Structure 1
Amino acid sequence: MSNRTQETKWRRLDNTAKLFPVITDESLSNVFRVSATLKEEIVPEILQEALEEIIVWFDGFNVRLRRGFFWYYFETNKKVPRVEEESTYPCKFIDPQSNQQFLFRVSYYKKRINFEVFHAITDGMGAMNFLKELTYHYIDLKKAQERGEKITLRPSRDCILDIEDSYLKNYKKVPNKPYKNKRAYQLNGDLLYLDTTSVIHGYINLNELKLKCKSKGVSITKYLTSVLIWCIYNEYMNKQENQDPISINVPINLRGFFDSTTTMNFFAVSSIEFFSKGCDHTLEEIIDIVSNQMDRNVAKERLEETISYNVSNEKKALIRFTPLALKYIILQIIYRRVSRGNTMTLSNLGNINVLPEYEDDIENFHFIIGVSKKQKMKCGVSSYKDKLEVSFTSVLADPYLQRAFFRTLSKEGISVTIESNGVINEKM
């Protein structure tokens, strides 16, 4: 087991992270989950040992949240994180007081290792980096135990430990444009019973999906976003005209654009909008609209503008020296206004690669996003080997959007297999 005697360090939250502690409570967790399913049942004692060994390497995760006079900040957490058997629905609020002050949660269920993270400490790419390292060393320890050997764990050759604030590094003092915030169409309906979350996974043949996207001349993210909008237009709007646009939040990983390897948050959000003019819209038309918007929104110049606007606001003296208690009130008001501008989120982690020596031990990866008050359904996407997984989390009782989404893919000639957590048992 690792020695927990460490020097106490502190550091600032990154630009994106500063908002999350202010708006988070039990009804808005800002928690997401990445999971790895292995070929054999999880041994909790070995998983606990692996977690204790690797957590000290990750300064970005080995922290607790402290409240300052002007902002929250992170401080080294000298306590020991605890592995638990999964006993509740995914992406629930992480209460530091009952979690050894940590802002993440590691659990297991049968063959699956779950890593749930409060968004203030990292984004999906940073979390996946940690999960892969935890999984590698769990496998190493288990095999060593089976051989009757003891091993010394070291970071793997693709482990990333960088905690650079890439927002600040790439900030340029240039003219910036404020966000335009319009009210978006909202998904409403009967809710599931209290504290219940539906999770529906669709496992998609990746080669078939790639061929379909190639025939349309678009990326996987563009295509899936288009299908999602098409299904909302059909199932919720009933193909009617509506003054509120369907607005899909699509997080963009900024690391490739700005040569960053940080494990802290480093993403921007592209809002893809579709205005329904009535009953004549086609999927092909929506694909063109989505593709053109995404091309504009993910241009490096546009992303630099986004970073500039966000960081420049943080640097304003009026904001910097406003006491945190007052920031609470201001940021809550801003968030409530901004949150009305989104229908739902589709986040694609992309293809997940693992070191070759671990491929035979890992069956699959999963990505689940916690819902919010204004976004009662969210969609996480990831791929591993020849399979792409689309995971819907929802607190809406009727699954007709999820059903329409997967049936649309099937009609497009793409093979889909469905799995759920059993909260909704209707046929997909």
Structure 2
Amino acid sequence: MIEEEKTYPCTDIQKDNPLRIIYFNNKLSIEIAHFLTDGKGAMLFFQDLIEEYVEEKYFSKSSRNRNFGNVDIIENKGKNENEEKIEIKDKDLIKNKKMIDFPKKKGDKIKNFENKSFLENKKKILEKNEEIFGNYDEENGVKESKYVDLYEKYMRKVSKETTIKSAFHLPIKILEKGQYHITTGEISVDNLKMESKKYKTTIGKYLLAVYFKVLLDRYSGAKNPIVIGVPVDLRKIFEEKTYRNFFINITPSVDASLGAYSLSEIITYLDNYFALKITKKEFYKSIYKAMNPMRNIVIKSVPYLIKRIFFPFIFDYYGERGYTTGFSNLGIFEIDKKYEKYLKGFRFLPPPSKRCKIKMGVISDSKKVYINFGNLTADYDIERDFFVYLRKRGIRSKIVTNYF
């Protein structure tokens, strides 16, 4: 269901509502649960949604004679945790006009729509993304899914991947439930390219190295290793096309007790670590480790209700126990050039985590890189240190927050 944004992002999450489409003034966002898809899958879906919307609003014949109609794109009801959010801003708007002319409300519910043109577009979007949402036969009320479990497909009985059991955790108190502070830095792609080329590395690895550097400098006395969880898109590795989850976290780590690290040392470490870890053979080990518990007879025998109650706590304790923080880089948000002038910018907000407290998400377009920190605390030293570090190297950032 399309709804107006009234809360902090990724906080009003319904368990039976895995996908929400949200608007606020000229901003359009989606929030999508991780059990449906990963960050890359969400971005692919959002690209389809934006292209259909802009095509209908600015390029269709009917748009010249009427305002853009509105529809319930996805029916959903209820709350879920572990969500990622992608949002976009529209700049080519008449003053005081919203990005979408949303429907009138009847009580607390949004009324149904009669816009046939957009209903057809809705079908196109859902058909293109039926791997996520299933193929719904409205006449017979049957929902079929073409989903293929790629983790199952590529599972091999190999030795398990070894990972750090307990990482350093940020010693910061979290905010009251329902608050999620976002800091976004908009940076020129060209400036970051120039700087990363000095170190013969990519923009993504450069930003990850700066993140490590900032954490190591601030927490030089950390007794446990500083570990950053980095999701890797497996679609390219295994040459698969899917809108569903197909990623594995790798866990580069640095031991602060060994002394101070220069940025060059960290980049050299990351180059070597990525070269060793991002291979099919290594991912077979990661997939086996992730899938093996699910095949356990004892775990399979546990009733679903018990799993639903206790597994989130188990994941919180064991799953993210090995991470200090997270760094997700979605890369370039690619969209047809004819639509670009209607779009102002992007955000990618990682899911909030009580264990990690602060996470970083990166997305870019052809001109800018958008660095987004999601923070469950009232301490913004890490974000400040990060952007100050870049500023000292001549990389200016336009900072936008939702808490000042």
Task: Name which of 57, 60, 63 aligns with 1:146.
Answer: 63
Give me the whole-angstrom Cα distance separating, in 2, the residues matched to 1:160 and 1:213.
36
Task: Name which of 393, 396, 399 aligns with 1:412.
Answer: 393
Contact 1:222–1:294 under 8 Å retained in 2: no
Structure 1 runs (4+) deviating above 6 angstroms are: none
Letter aligned with residue 89 of structure 1: Y
Q: In 2 relative to 1, CA 190–332 (structure 1 residues): closer, same or farther, beyond 3 Å?
A: closer
Matches within 5 A, 1:1-150: 82-96=1-15, 101-143=16-58, 144=60, 145-148=62-65
Q: Deviation at 1:402? A: 0.3
Task: Name which of 152, 170, 175 aligns with 2:154.
Answer: 170
Q: Deviation at 1:90? A: 0.3
Contact 2:349–2:374 under 8 Å retained in 1: yes
- TM-score when scaled to structure 1? 0.72
Identity of matched residues, % = 29
Q: 3-state DSSP class of the match of 2:251?
A: strand
Q: Deviation at 1:321? A: 3.3
Unaligned runs of 5+ in 2: 67-115, 132-146
Give me the whole-angstrom Cα distance separating, in 2, the residues matched to 1:408 and 1:252.
26
Give me the whole-angstrom Cα distance separating, in 1, the residues matched to 2:19 and 2:305.
25
Q: What do residues 129-153 of structure 1 show as CA deviations (whole Å, max 9, x unaligned)?
A: 2212222222233234431277453
Aligned to 1:303: 283
Matched pairs, number = 333
- TM-score when scaled to structure 2? 0.76
Q: 3-state DSSP class of the match of 1:277?
A: helix
Letter aligned with residue 14 of structure 2: D
Aligned to 1:384: 365
Q: In 2 relative to 1, CA 308–116 (structure 1 residues): closer, same or farther, beyond 3 Å?
A: same
Give me the whole-angstrom Cα distance separating, in 2, the residues matched to 1:331 and 1:140.
40
Give me the whole-angstrom Cα distance separating, in 2, the residues matched to 1:196 and 1:327.
27
Contact 2:216–2:260 under 8 Å retained in 1: no
Aligned to 2:230: 250
Unaligned runs of 5+ in 1: 1-81
The answer on 1:337 being equivalent to 2:254 is: no
The answer on 1:221 being equivalent to 2:189 is: no
Give me the whole-angstrom Cα distance separating, in 2, the residues matched to 1:309 and 1:213.
34
| Larger CA deviation: 277-286 vs 260-269 | 277-286
Q: 3-state DSSP class of the match of 2:257?
A: coil
The answer on 1:261 being equivalent to 2:273 is: no
Q: Deviation at 1:302? A: 0.5
Matches within 5 A, 1:154-303: 155=124, 161-162=130-131, 163-172=147-156, 174-192=157-175, 194-235=177-218, 237=219, 239-240=220-221, 242-277=222-257, 279-303=259-283
Q: 3-state DSSP class of the match of 1:380?
A: strand
Q: Deviation at 1:194? A: 4.9
Give me the whole-angstrom Cα distance separating, in 2, the residues matched to 1:298 and 1:160.
28
Q: In 2 relative to 1, CA 160–211 (structure 1 residues): closer, same or farther, beyond 3 Å?
A: farther
Q: Deviation at 1:107? A: 0.7
Contact 1:126–1:264 under 8 Å retained in 2: yes
Aligned to 1:320: 300
Q: In 2 relative to 1, CA 155–325 (structure 1 residues): closer, same or farther, beyond 3 Å?
A: closer
Q: Deviation at 1:303? A: 0.9
Q: 3-state DSSP class of the match of 1:92?
A: coil
Aligned to 2:328: 347
Give me the whole-angstrom Cα distance separating, in 2, the residues matched to 1:339 and 1:260.
27
Contact 1:366–1:389 under 8 Å retained in 2: yes
Q: Deviation at 1:335? A: 4.5
Q: In 2 relative to 1, CA 159–208 (structure 1 residues): closer, same or farther, beyond 3 Å?
A: farther
Q: Deviation at 1:193? A: 5.0
Aligned to 2:377: 396
Q: In 2 relative to 1, CA 277–188 (structure 1 residues): closer, same or farther, beyond 3 Å?
A: closer
Contact 2:158–2:284 under 8 Å retained in 1: no
